[in-house]
A and B are shown apart, each in its own frame.
Chain A
Amino acid sequence: AQSVTQLDSQVPVFEEAPVELRCNYSSSVSVYLFWYVQYPNQGLQLLLKYLSGSTLVKGINGFEAEFNKSQTSFHLRKPSVHISDTAEYFCAVSPPRGSGNTGKLIFGQGTTLQVKP
């Protein structure tokens, strides 16, 4: 079974400062990893995903994440945040085909990013 832990429930940061949102996962098999963003009163939008290959993944809106297999982490980073980045961020995992994949995404509890002026 897989599980996802987002280590911070809230991250306050000032505009133009860098930010890191932490995500750790637990799994006995290889997994695919995702970060989704949810702006207020909206659905979830995919920011980026790690399937294989380069461990540094670049996504939309200037976000990137680094997959670290030894530490089972997939932390999300942005070098300079904007007010418009204020949102809820969810890390999620999915096991690959043939590894008990039932189509389920396993989500972390979410991190609220609050960007202050």
Chain B
Amino acid sequence: DTEVTQTPKHLVMGMTNKKSLKCEQHMGHRAMYWYKQKAKKPPELMFVYSYEKLSINESVPSRFSPECPNSSLLNLHLHALQPEDSALYLCASSQDQTSSYNEQFFGPGTRLTVL
């Protein structure tokens, strides 16, 4: 199984809502990533988890809160978002964070709209 799955596919939320994005992989990968992607732009790294511990936080606002309950699952909790946070949120995984090469496998993404 070489698939990364993400749910939901689409999410519309108000600025006062709390919601969560979910990501799952069953490739035995030990590194998982959250990216934010605006239209026609490359993905921007938000967080990296390595062996279920937060390894990199790219100065992301606290209204985004990642969680890695186990080696297969990655969540992104959202609270009090702003309209400019509307984007495609991509999850990815790789064998580990600093393997000889860092081939990352991406999920299909969650299209988030903040009203």
The answer to whether A103 and B55 touch (CB under 8 A), given A109-B41, A110-B42, A112-B40, is yes
Q: Is B115 an interface residue (CB 8 A)?
A: no
Contacts of B94 in A (CB 8 A): 103
Q: How far is the CA of A21 from the CA of B79 in the complex (A)?
A: 40
Contact A51 B101 (CB under 8 A): yes
Contact A49 B103 (CB under 8 A): yes
Q: How far is the CA of A104 from the CA of B100 in the complex (A)?
A: 13
Contacting chain B: which of A37-45, A66-74, A78-86?
A37-45
Q: Is A114 an interface residue (CB 8 A)?
A: no
Q: How far is the CA of A49 from the CA of B99 in the complex (A)?
A: 15
A36–chain B nearest beta-carbon distance, Å:
8
Of residues 1 through 52 on chain A, the ones whose CB sits less than 8 Å from some CB of chain B are 32, 34, 36, 41-46, 49, 51
Contacts of A59 in B (CB 8 A): none
Q: Size class of B's contact patch? A: 20 to 34
Contact A43 B40 (CB under 8 A): no
Contact A105 B109 (CB under 8 A): no
A62–chain B nearest beta-carbon distance, Å:
20
Q: How far is the CA of A34 from the CA of B92 in the complex (A)?
A: 15
Q: How far is the CA of A41 from the CA of B108 in the complex (A)?
A: 8
A37–chain B nearest beta-carbon distance, Å:
11
B residues neighboring A (CB under 8 Å)? 4, 6, 31, 33, 40-43, 45, 48, 50, 55-56, 90, 92, 94, 97-109, 111
Sample 20 A-B pairs with CB under 8 A, ordered by A number: A36-B106, A42-B109, A43-B90, A44-B106, A49-B101, A49-B103, A51-B100, A88-B40, A94-B101, A94-B102, A96-B101, A97-B98, A97-B100, A101-B98, A101-B102, A102-B56, A102-B97, A103-B94, A103-B102, A110-B41
